[in-house]
Amino acid sequence: MTTSFHPPQRTLMGPGPSDVNPRILEAMSRPTIGHLDPKFIEMMDEVKALLQYAFQTKNELTMPVSAPGSAGMETCFVNLVEPGDKVIVCQNGVFGGRMKENVERCGGEAIMVEDEWGKVVDPAKLEAALKANPDASVVAFVHAETSTGAQSDAKTLVEIAHKYDCLAIVDAVTSLGGTPIKVDEWGIDAIYSGTQKCLSCTPGLSPVSFSPAALEKIKNRKTKAQSWFLDLNLVMGYWGGEGKRAYHHTAPINALYGLHESLVILKEEGLENAWARHAKHHLALRAGLEAMGLKFVVDEKDRLPQLNAVYIPDGVDDVAVRSALLNDYSLEIGAGLGVMAGKVWRIGLMGHACNKRNVLLCLGALGDVLSRMNVSVDKESAVGAAQKILAA
C-alpha cells in the first residue's frame, strides 16, 4: 500500500536546491486563502517591495513568475524578442546555451559570443559582435554561470549593450541574494532568478524585474508573445498595480508565503551582510579544499562565492564519491554538466546552507570518502585551514 512520503533529512550543498530555512517551511504550512483575497493582495505588495530591495531596483514591474527559474528566463525572452530580432547571446557554460534556445524558439536570430567554460564573458568579444551586428536589439548573458562557478562583470557587459542601443537580459539565478546585484545602478533591463538558491526557498518561483525601457518594448510589440501564460501584457494586470488585481491565473499561494518569508529573512540580515557571509564561507571552503589538494575550475578573481567548482582528482570515481557522501553523510554535492560532466564537482554554499557547520561537514566528509578510496588527502589540515578563516 502506498503511504505518505517522508523524505530523508539531507544537507544540500549542490548547485540547488539549497537547504530551506525552517521559518520558510513553517510559513508555507499556513492556511491557504484565495489569490484575490484582500489580505493576500497586501502580501503580494510586500513581496514586490521586498524583491525590489533584493534586486536593488525601483522597477515597477518586479514580481515572481509562478514557475521555476527557467520560466523566468522564458518570460524575459518571449516578451522582449520578436520574430526576426537579432540577439547577441554570450555563452560560457550550460545556461548561455539555454538562452540561445529561447531566442530561436521566439523566431529570433541568436549571434553567439562564446568563451571557454570556466572563464567569464569577455567584454571585448561582446563589443566586437555588436560592431559586426549593428541591427542587434538585445544582449543576453549569464551573470553567475551555475555550471562552472564563473561570475561575469554584469555592469561592464550592460554598459556595452547600451552603448549599441541594445536591451540587456541577465540571468541571476544563482547570484541573487548571495553576491552583489544592482539592477538600477548597473542599468539592467531584464533580469531573472530563482527561489531555490541563495534565497533558501523551495523551487517553483522565479523573481523577475524589467526596466522602463524593457516595459516600453513589451507594450509596443508588433506580435503577440508566443506564450499566453508568460505574456507580461496579461500578467501585469495581476502583479502590475497596487490594490485591485485582475485575474490571470491562480497564484501558487503557499509558495508565495514561503518567498515572502525568505525575503523578510534577507531584509533582516541585510543584503550587504548576506553578500559578506557568502564571501567569507567561500574563503573558508576554498582554504580547506586547496589544503586537500583540490583545484578550482575558475580563476580566483572570477569565482562565484556560492558555487564552487573543483576538478575531480585523477582516477577518482565521480559517482562513487557523491553516492558515498549521500549515503554515509546525507550530504549532496553536484556533478558536472555538459563538457564538465565527470570532470568536476560543484559545491554550493547558498543562503541558509552557507554556514560554518556545512563548510566543516563538507570538508570532513569529502576528506573521509576520498581517504577510503586511497586518495592521499589531509582531512585534518583541510578542516583546520577552514576553521582559521572562520575564526577571523
CA gap 60, 52 in Å, rounded:
9
Longest dimension (CA), the chain: 65
Taking CA atoms, 372 is separated from 99, 316, 332, 344, 367, in Å, by 41, 11, 18, 19, 9
Please, what CATH class does the domain formed by 22-268 belong to?
alpha beta
Amino acid at 252: P
Within 8 A by CB and 6+ apart from 374, the residues are none
46: helix, strand or coil = helix
* Among 322, 325, 326, 353, CA closest to 336: 322
| pLDDT, tens digit only, all 392 positions of the chain | 999 999 999 999 999 999 999 999 999 999 999 998 999 999 999 999 999 999 999 999 999 999 999 999 999 999 999 999 999 999 999 999 999 999 999 999 999 999 999 999 999 999 999 999 999 999 999 999 999 999 999 999 999 999 999 999 999 999 999 999 999 999 999 999 999 999 999 999 999 999 999 999 999 999 999 999 999 999 888 886 555 677 889 999 999 999 999 999 999 999 999 999 999 999 999 999 999 999 999 999 999 999 999 999 999 999 999 999 999 999 999 999 999 999 999 999 999 999 999 999 999 999 999 999 999 888 889 999 999 999 98
Please tell me the predicted confidence (pLDDT) of residue 106.
97
* Among 285, 200, 228, CA closest to 75: 228
Helix axes 69-80, 212-219, angle to 10 degrees: 60
- Report whether 118 contacts 150 (CB < 8 A): yes
Q: How many CA atoms lie within 13 A of 134 on its CB side?
A: 0
Backbone angles phi, psi at 150, to 5 degrees: -95, 140
- For 177: left if phi > 0, alpha if psi spans -120 to 50, otherwise beta; the answer is left
* Among 52, 74, 87, 11, CA closest to 325: 11
Give the residue range(s) of CATH 3.90.1150.10 domains in the chain.
271-391
Please tell me the predicted confidence (pLDDT) of residue 348.
98
Topology (CATH level 3) of domain 271-391: Aspartate Aminotransferase, domain 1 (3.90.1150)
Within 8 A by CB and 6+ apart from 256, the residues are 43, 44, 47, 64, 205
Amino acid at 73: M
- Report whether 143 contacts 172 (CB < 8 A): yes
Give the residue range(s) of CATH 3.40.640.10 domains in the chain.
22-268
Cell readout for 131 is: 560592431
The distance in angstroms from the start CA to the end CA of the chain is 54
What stretches of the chain adopt beta strand conformation (E)? 11-12, 61-65, 86-91, 109-114, 138-142, 144-145, 150-151, 167-171, 190-192, 206-210, 307-311, 331-332, 334-335, 344-348
CA gap 92, 14 in Å, rounded:
20
CA gap 380, 385 in Å, rounded:
9
Please tell me the predicted confidence (pLDDT) of residue 237.
80
- DSSP string over 153-165: -HHHHHHHHHHTT
CA gap 342, 334 in Å, rounded:
11
